[in-house]
């Protein structure tokens, strides 16, 4: 409510758009000569990741995930306190990514629920501390009905000191 804001800001200091009397030289109540309002970013400024750089990088595993298919990367963790880290980039569209845990009982439980990520726009990266000993599975799913996706990924396990020696 504009009356509430007038309790804290004098009318002559509040722009006309919000109920004050302040306008710019043109009489614009939004005071556009001094305030830059957000607008659509031109597509020429968009920066998509260069997938070719990831294709050539030997640290990344490259795989094609067919339409409606998924891949799983399994990691055994034998000591608490390790963390799983991942970087995923898709050439052709978004994926769903999640992490599951399977302990000694054999029951599978989600640790990081499946979530849609726009890893074709920006590489998806993250990490998760392994609070239990057992098998962790990173799942990447292509829910597209019409096309497969080319994916580059890197999944690692690190100790708390930052080294990746198991």
- Residue pair 56/44 in contact (Cβ under 8 Å)? The answer is no
Rounded to whole angstroms, the Cα distance separating 72 from 55 reads 20
Residues 6+ apart with CB under 8 A from 89: 49, 51, 54, 60, 119, 120, 123, 124, 151, 152, 153
Rounded to whole angstroms, the Cα distance separating 31 from 36 reads 9
Choice between 142 and 47, residue whose per-residue pLDDT is larger: 142
Rounded to whole angstroms, the Cα distance separating 145 from 165 reads 39
Share of the chain above pLDDT 90, in %: 56
Q: pLDDT digits over 107-119, tens only?
A: 999 999 999 999 9
- Span 36-52, average pLDDT: 77
- Residue pair 130/77 in contact (Cβ under 8 Å)? The answer is yes
CA 87, 91, 94, 95 torsion-angle sign:
negative
Which of helix, strand or coil describes residue 82? coil
- Residue pair 109/82 in contact (Cβ under 8 Å)? The answer is no
**pTM recorded for the entire structure:** 0.66
Lowest mean pLDDT: which of 10-24, 76-90, 94-108, 149-163? 149-163
pLDDT at 36: 86
Residue ranges and CATH numbers for the domains of the chain are 1-39 (no CATH), 48-158 (2.60.120.680)
């Amino acid at each position: 409510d504009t009356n509430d804001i007038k309790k804290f800001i004098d009318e002559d200091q509040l722009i006309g758009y919000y109920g004050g009397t302040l306008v710019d030289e043109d009489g614009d109540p939004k005071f556009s000569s001094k305030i830059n309002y957000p607008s659509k970013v031109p597509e020429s400024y968009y920066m998509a990741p260069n997938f070719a750089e990831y294709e050539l990088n030997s640290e990344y595993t490259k795989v094609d995930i067919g339409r409606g298919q998924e891949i799983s990367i399994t990691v055994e963790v034998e000591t608490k306190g390790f963390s799983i880290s991942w970087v995923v980039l898709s050439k052709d569209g978004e994926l769903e990514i999640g992490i599951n845990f399977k302990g000694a009982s054999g029951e599978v439980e989600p640790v990081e629920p499946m979530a849609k990520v726009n890893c074709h726009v920006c590489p998806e990266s993250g990490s998760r501390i392994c609070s239990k000993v057992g098998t962790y599975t990173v799942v990447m799913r292509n829910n597209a009905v019409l096309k497969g996706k080319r994916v580059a990924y890197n999944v690692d396990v690190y100790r708390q000191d930052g080294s990746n020696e198991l």
